[in-house]
Amino acid sequence: MNPVGVNAGGESSHGPPPSLWPVGFAVGIVCILVGLIVSWPAVAVGAALTVIFGFLWIRDVSRGHASLPQAETEAQGPPEPAPALPAHKGAPAMPETTPAEAATFPRSKFLEGATLGLGAAIGAVVTVPAVGFALVPAFVDQGQPDIDLGPIDNFPQGEWVITHFHLRPAEGDVTRRVAYIRYNGLSDNKPSFTIISNRCAHLGCPVQPGGLIQPDKTKDQKTSGGQEISITPVVGLSSFTCPCHGGSYDSEGNRTAGPPVRGLDRWTYDIKNGNLVLVTNYSVSTVEGTGANAVINKYRLTGPGQHVDGPEQIFYPWQPPT
């Protein structure tokens, strides 16, 4: 019997034609991997390409296998004039093989399936742990505890103070943060605060207050929640400026000049047992009005340089919870 794909004259028979489907399949996989970092729409596009080109690739391969026996038969040409004597009629005689005992699954098919299955198993063993360690921590054990900044008396009404605190005191100064806080007085019989993050909305540099800082009046305090805070008054604060790239903001954190794409982030807060408690921070596009009467256009917290509204926002990746 001639080898598969070789005719009686020693010439190779025609197999499945070259195809670009594997290239499209690979491009789809790349889009999925890049999309996990860039954006979910890119993942969707990659998945669609992978499914479409994978189907076309499998169809071509299957069609090639289906046409192979016919090509082999045609390549063999006319039957030989003197076929070999069957083994069971020769001497010594062998029992004739029954149809049930005949091979029903070609060895090449078995080897192909075994190779693909083993490759898939090895790929899963290598890939799944790596992907898990890379992605799962971003979705597990996130968030931060409430931050007790002490009594409301620490914040004189109508005056700005620079407040230093730790997101997680047990982890040390690596979690040290700064917020600019102004007590606006009562609004609907509840204390109102303006609490602005010092993280520039351009690249995250620390913005500086446009006013007279009074370090000699700094007050260090350990709150009832175990938080060590530092409060420094600022006189005449009218703006915030980023020393890195010239981003400028007004006293409510609205962008006024420079490269920032939105306003400064803010903090939500609560009043517990007469103490000011920071809960979580969020992003802001713009603020209309001032103080207790301000109307804040708030959004889920996003990274520096990322648009939170307008058509530009679709070009930025989805971020894991914080």
Confidence class for position 169, pLDDT limits 50, 70, 90: confident
Cβ density class 263-279: b for 16+ within 10 Å, e for less:
bbbbbebeeeeebbbbe
User: How far is it, in rounded angstroms, from Cα 260 to Cα 254?
Assistant: 10
At 165 the pLDDT is 92
- In terms of Cα–Cα distance, which of 252, 240, 234 is closest to 289? 252
Is 226 strand, coil or helix? coil
Q: What is the mean pLDDT of residues 265-293?
A: 91
Counting Cβ atoms within 10 Å, is residue 56 exposed (0-12), middle (13-18) or buried (19+)?
Answer: middle
Domain 1-76: which topology?
Answer: Helix Hairpins (1.10.287)
pLDDT tens digits for range 66-122: 554 554 445 555 556 666 656 555 555 556 656 655 555 567 777 777 778 877 888
φ, ψ of residue 38 in degrees (nearest 5): -90, -65
Lowest model confidence (mean pLDDT) among 6-20, 103-117, 130-144: 6-20
Residue 150 is encoded by which pair of tokens?
């002490």
Homologous superfamily of domain range 147-305 = Rieske [2Fe-2S] iron-sulphur domain (2.102.10.10)
| pLDDT at residue 4 greater than cutoff 70 | no
Share of the chain above pLDDT 90, in %: 33
Q: Are 160 and 291 in contact (CB under 8 A)?
A: no
More confident residue, 106 or 209: 209
Confidence class for position 3, pLDDT limits 50, 70, 90: very low
Q: Are 178 and 162 in contact (CB under 8 A)?
A: yes
What mean pLDDT value characterizes the chain?
A: 80
pLDDT tens digits for range 225-273: 678 899 999 999 999 999 999 999 999 999 999 999 999 999 999 999 8
Neighbours of 314 (CB within 10 A): 9
Q: What is the mean pLDDT of residues 34-52?
A: 82
Identity of residue 182: R
Q: Do domains 1-76 and 147-305 have the same CATH topology?
A: no
- In terms of Cα–Cα distance, which of 270, 248, 246, 258 is closest to 195? 270
At 242 the pLDDT is 94
What is the pTM assigned to this prediction? 0.58
| pLDDT at residue 16 greater than cutoff 70 | no
At 2 the pLDDT is 45
Q: Are 35 and 42 in contact (CB under 8 A)?
A: yes
Q: Where are the beta strands (DSSP E) in 140-265?
A: 147-151, 160-166, 176-187, 190-197, 208-209, 212-213, 219-222, 228-235, 239-241, 248-250, 255-257
- Looking up tokens 């699954």 gives 105
At 33 the pLDDT is 83
At 11 the pLDDT is 47
- Looking up tokens 């790596």 gives 130
Q: Where are the domains of the chain?
A: 1-76, 147-305
φ, ψ of residue 268 in degrees (nearest 5): -85, 155
pLDDT tens digits for range 292-309: 899 999 998 888 988 888
- Looking up tokens 């026996």 gives 69
At 96 the pLDDT is 61
